[in-house]
């Protein structure tokens, strides 16, 4: 005998298998949609933070670029105040920039030499290509070929493209 106060157990047994599957599908769909909405919200926030960070970095770069000539002149006049001629002072500052640029070029070339092709991805792509080349197209049954003839004629009248058989060979 069932307890009349236990309505949840009675309601669960009254539903058919199809209703239970439909309910589970609807709940899974809602769960997936909620997860996607959460991911979108998190990504939106991350993109906003990244955009603000990028804009801030760009503005800082512009200010540094504006400060470079001022600091260059200050360094040249500082060297001039040590007793060296003004022309030699500017030449020393310019040479310092060239040395810095040469060091940065050497560092960049060293880093570029260490860059290697993505060997695992290339091997995986070659393996996939070899597997796909060895695959034969799936034969269509005779009834499907008759249906295709009928749909091809029908689609030719409606000017829509017919089915395309593709082969990986």
Residue 72 resides in a domain: yes
Residues 108-161 have pLDDT tens digits of 999 999 888 888 888 888 888 787 777 676 666 665 555 555 555 444 444 455
SS3 assignment, position 29: helix
Residues 151-164 have pLDDT tens digits of 554 444 444 555 55
Alpha helices in 82-141 (DSSP H): 86-113, 119-134
Residues in CB range of 75: below 8 A, 6 or more apart: 89, 93, 96
Which is more confident, 166 or 52?
52
Number of domains in the chain: 1
Which is more confident, 127 or 92?
92
Backbone angle region of 6, left / alpha / beta, with phi > 0 → left and psi within -120 to 50 → alpha: beta
Residue 107 resides in a domain: yes
Residue 21 resides in a domain: yes
Is the predicted pLDDT of residue 36 greater than 60, yes or no?
yes
Give the mean pLDDT of 34-51: 86
CA–CA separation, 26 and 32 (whole Å): 10
Residue 4 resides in a domain: no
Residue 31 resides in a domain: yes
Give residue 115's pLDDT. 86
CA–CA separation, 155 and 17 (whole Å): 41
Give the pLDDT band (50/70/90) at residue 168. low
Give residue 161's pLDDT. 53
Q: N- to C-terminal Cα distance for the chain?
A: 68
Radius of gyration of the chain (CA): 36
CA–CA separation, 136 and 18 (whole Å): 39
Residues 60-77 have pLDDT tens digits of 999 999 999 999 999 999
* Domain that residue 51 falls in: 16-133
CA–CA separation, 163 and 145 (whole Å): 11
Residue 167 resides in a domain: no
Do the Cβ atoms of 86 and 80 come closer than 8 Å? yes
Give residue 154's pLDDT. 47
Q: Work out the number of other CB atoms within 10 angstroms of the CB of residue 92.
A: 14
Residue 23 resides in a domain: yes
4-13, 42-51, 105-114, 131-140: range with lowest mean pLDDT: 4-13
Is the predicted pLDDT of residue 7 greater than 70, yes or no?
no
Residue 161 resides in a domain: no
pTM recorded for the entire structure: 0.46
């Amino acid at each position: 005998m069932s307890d009349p106060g236990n309505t949840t157990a009675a309601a669960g047994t009254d539903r058919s298998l199809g209703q239970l599957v439909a309910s589970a599908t609807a709940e899974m769909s809602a769960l997936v949609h909620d997860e996607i909405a959460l991911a979108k919200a998190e990504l939106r926030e991350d993109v906003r933070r990244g955009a603000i960070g990028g804009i801030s970095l760009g503005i800082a770069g512009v200010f540094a670029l504006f400060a470079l000539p001022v600091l260059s002149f200050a360094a040249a006049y500082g060297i001039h105040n040590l007793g060296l001629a003004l022309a030699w002072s500017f030449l020393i500052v310019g040479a310092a920039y060239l040395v810095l640029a040469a060091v940065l070029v050497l560092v960049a070339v060293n880093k570029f030499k260490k860059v290697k092709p993505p060997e695992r991805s290339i091997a995986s792509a070659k393996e996939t290509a070899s597997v796909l080349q060895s695959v034969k197209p799936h034969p269509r049954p005779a009834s499907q070929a008759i249906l295709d003839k009928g749909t091809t004629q029908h689609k030719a009248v409606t000017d829509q493209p017919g089915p395309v058989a593709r082969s990986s060979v």
